[in-house]
């Protein structure tokens, strides 16, 4: 499923540019993806569309429409969260996200690039993924797809963190 999601991310500028489900299914089949992976990915993408429906820009936006600003990203929340609030993860969420995944979400929040509303959509979509616990790489793909779906371009450093393989990094 994740290979299909990466393909969709790499080939469509944003969620609104992605073709309808049936057309996308045909395209993915022609690219050689397994039918079960395509079905899983399309179901997951349908859930993503529903989860982010109220959080995206107007669907009539065009490429000439300016992208959301950094302040818009910070303001993007389902419900405003107090600065002293703390997200308590259920046992099921802890098991499904794993320690690395929870740590990564915390890192994004501490870096102030993950508003609480976006975090909740990420958790919901991560819980919809069939594997448990998710690997860190799978969670990063989910985070990337949330940014993609909403049309919000992540900061360059965040994008680097989401796309870069940490195995090849050298500590200074």
Burial of 3 (0-12, 13-18, 19+ CB in 10 A): middle
- Grade residue 156 by pLDDT with cuts at 50, 70 and 90: confident
pLDDT at site 151? 81
Higher pLDDT, 80 or 152: 152
Higher pLDDT, 94 or 53: 94
- pLDDT value at 25 more than 90: yes
Nearest alpha-carbon partner for 14 in 51, 67, 75, 73: 67
- pLDDT value at 81 more than 80: no
Higher pLDDT, 83 or 56: 83
What is the tens place of the pLDDT at every residue in 110-153? Answer: 888 888 888 999 999 999 998 888 999 999 999 999 988 888 87
- Which residue is listed with tokens 């976006």? 118
The answer to whether residues 37 and 4 touch, using CB atoms and an 8 Å cutoff, is yes
CA pair distance 152, 169, nearest whole angstrom: 27
When mean pLDDT is compared over 57-66, 73-82, 159-168, the highest value belongs to 159-168
**CA 68 to each of CA 48, 55, 60, 105, 111: distance values in angstroms, whole numbers, following the listed order:** 19, 11, 15, 22, 19
Can you give the residue ranges of every domain in the chain? 2-168
- pTM for the full predicted model: 0.77
């Amino acid at each position: 499923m994740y290979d299909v999601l990466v393909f969709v991310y790499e080939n469509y500028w944003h969620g609104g540019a992605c073709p309808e489900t049936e057309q996308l299914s045909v395209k993915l089949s022609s690219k050689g993806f397994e039918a079960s992976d395509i079905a899983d990915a399309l179901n997951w993408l349908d859930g993503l569309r529903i989860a982010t429906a109220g959080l995206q820009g107007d669907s009539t936006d065009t490429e000439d429409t300016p992208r959301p600003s950094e302040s818009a990203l910070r303001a993007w929340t389902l419900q405003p969260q107090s600065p002293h609030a703390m997200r308590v993860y259920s046992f099921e969420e802890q098991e499904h996200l794993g320690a690395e995944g929870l740590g990564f979400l915390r890192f994004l929040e501490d870096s102030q690039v993950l508003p609480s509303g976006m975090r909740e959509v990420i958790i919901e979509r991560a819980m919809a993924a069939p594997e448990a616990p998710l690997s860190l790489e799978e969670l990063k793909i989910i985070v990337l797809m949330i940014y993609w779906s909403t049309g919000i371009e992540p900061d360059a450093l965040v994008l680097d963190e989401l796309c870069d393989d940490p195995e090849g990094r050298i500590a200074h």
